[in-house]
Amino acid sequence: MTPADTIAPGSTIGILGGGQLGRMTAIAAAAMGYKCLILEPQEDCPASQVADHIAGAYEDESVLARFADAVDVVTLEFENVPVESLRFLEARAPVRPGSRALEIAQDRILEKDYLNRAGIGTAPWREVTDLAGLTAAAAEIGLPAVLKTARFGYDGKGQAMLKPDSDLAEAWETLGGVRCILEGFIAFDCEVSVIAARASSGETRCFPVVRNEHRDHILYKTHAPAGVSAETERAAEAVAIAAIEVLDLTGLLAVEMFALPDGGVLVNEVAPRPHNSGHWSIEGCATSQFQQLVRAVCNLPLGSTEILHPSEMTNLLGDEIDAWPEILAEPNAYLHLYGKADAKPGRKMGHVTRLLKS
Ligand code: AMP
């Protein structure tokens, strides 16, 4: 007997967003006997090459209704889907994660407030809505600090580092005068992340703690395992499980954290979906993050997150994918290309996971 809200193999999973995360989710779902339907405005998107696709706007209710009618459960690979669209879908199909968790994760201020209320630590922060507010917040928090737009920031876009001699008015203008968060600058030892999974049964499990290296604010490499102290590992895993539970989220929650010299961690941001820092799990772990997402949203037993191989994942940005012949010639290197036509500088075109000798 399976629980009532189990979505069995043979069913169709609807995915909002058609990028590489959707593509890798659809591949994992297909391996488990599921079909996927992608909703994404872009015609030839990475996920549309491996699954059925509706090319339509997230705001279009006739498109949303057609999508909801064709699927058994809805998940997402992209967090800037309008919350109203998720609410519309929720009236028609199970949506995992749901609109409330998405609403919180879309907004850095709501997110930090929610986490702090649950006792989860972050950098000190203030909401800023005008230049006078920025000046006051900078005086309270102290400089250096990081000014970020509250919404729609990614890969360092919508961010300005403020030093003691920075011109605050110029920084405010650069970010477009929109609602922002000012965060105290954290002198971290390293950046780590944990991906937690939660099924609709309430079962939770997290992937091992990994260490992330960024270049120009974009993830460059992920090292699994992180190679941090057992104390930091325990703190990071506890925070990830606490965060997914407090958000009451079904699916995956990627939690990016700063590891501090004293063994503690502070949350930088969370994402309610698969994450670039989990790509190594396809080859390195007993269950990949994409298979775990399918298990969580279909209410299947969650898979083992045991590390099978210590791994290093490297993103291939822009024309770095031209190195594909050399990568293919390497033993223990697993190349993933996302099917994107245009290798613009900084664009995530693929990744390679190298399995290391343990
Ligand atoms: P985010 O877009 O919030 O993930 O920030 C991108 C990168 O900027 C992070 O991975 C950090 O390397 C750096 N960063 C962001 N916020 C802070 C902070 N409060 N203190 C120190 N570094 C930060």
- Residues 92, 174, single domain; the answer is no
Cβ contact 9:69 at 8 Å: no
Token digits of residue 252: 């995956």
Whole-angstrom distance, CA of residue 68 vs CA of residue 48? 17
Give the ligand 1 atom nearest the CA of 148.
3
* Nearest CA owner, ligand 1 atom 8: 217
pTM above threshold 0.75: yes
Enumerate residues lining ligand 1, CB below 6 A. Answer: 123, 146, 153, 156, 183, 185-186, 191, 214, 217, 256, 268-269
- Residues 153, 206, single domain; the answer is no
Q: Can you give the pLDDT at residue 155?
A: 67
Task: Identify the three-state secondary structure at position 260.
Answer: coil
Give the ligand 1 atom nearest the CA of 187.
21
Whole-angstrom distance, CA of residue 33 vs CA of residue 191? 36
Q: Can you give the pLDDT at residue 82?
A: 97
- Residues 232, 88, single domain; the answer is no
- Residues 201, 154, single domain; the answer is no
* Residue 111 in domain: no
- Residues 265, 312, single domain; the answer is yes
For the chain, how many structural domains are there in total? 3
Whole-angstrom distance, CA of residue 47 vs CA of residue 292? 18
Continuous segment of H or E residues that includes residue 244: helix 230-246
| CA 268–ligand 1 middle distance (angstroms) | 7
Q: Can you give the pLDDT at residue 5?
A: 84
| CA 262–ligand 1 middle distance (angstroms) | 19
* Residue 276 in domain: yes
Continuous segment of H or E residues that includes residue 232: helix 230-246
Q: Strands, E, within 64-137: which ranges?
A: 73-76, 125-128
Give the ligand 1 atom nearest the CA of 145.
19
* Omega before residue 144 within 30° of 0, cis: yes
- Domain residues for the domain of 142 are 124-184
Cβ contact 38:59 at 8 Å: no
- Residue 276 makes CB contacts below 8 A (sequence gap 6+) with 219, 222, 315, 348, 351
Cβ contact 71:54 at 8 Å: no
- Residues 232, 277, single domain; the answer is yes
Q: What is the largest CA-CA distance in the chain?
A: 65
Whole-angstrom distance, CA of residue 264 vs CA of residue 248? 24
- Residues 242, 330, single domain; the answer is yes
| CA 258–ligand 1 middle distance (angstroms) | 9
- CATH number of 176's domain: 3.30.1490.20
Q: What is the residue-level pLDDT of the chain in tens, covering all 358 positions?
A: 567 789 999 999 999 999 999 999 999 999 999 999 999 999 999 999 999 999 999 999 999 999 999 999 999 999 999 999 999 999 999 999 999 999 999 999 999 999 999 999 999 999 999 999 999 999 999 999 999 999 987 666 789 999 999 999 999 999 999 999 999 999 999 999 999 999 999 999 999 999 999 998 899 999 999 999 999 999 999 999 999 999 999 999 999 999 999 999 999 999 999 999 999 999 999 999 999 999 999 999 999 999 999 999 999 999 999 999 999 999 999 999 999 999 999 999 999 999 998 6
- Residues 26, 135, single domain; the answer is no
Among 112, 146, 221, 315, which is best to mutate for testing ligand 1, by the most ligand atoms less than 8 A from CB? 146
| CA 101–ligand 1 middle distance (angstroms) | 22
- Residues 16, 154, single domain; the answer is no
| CA 42–ligand 1 middle distance (angstroms) | 29
| CA 213–ligand 1 middle distance (angstroms) | 11
Q: Can you give the pLDDT at residue 240?
A: 98
Cross-strand partners of 206: 196
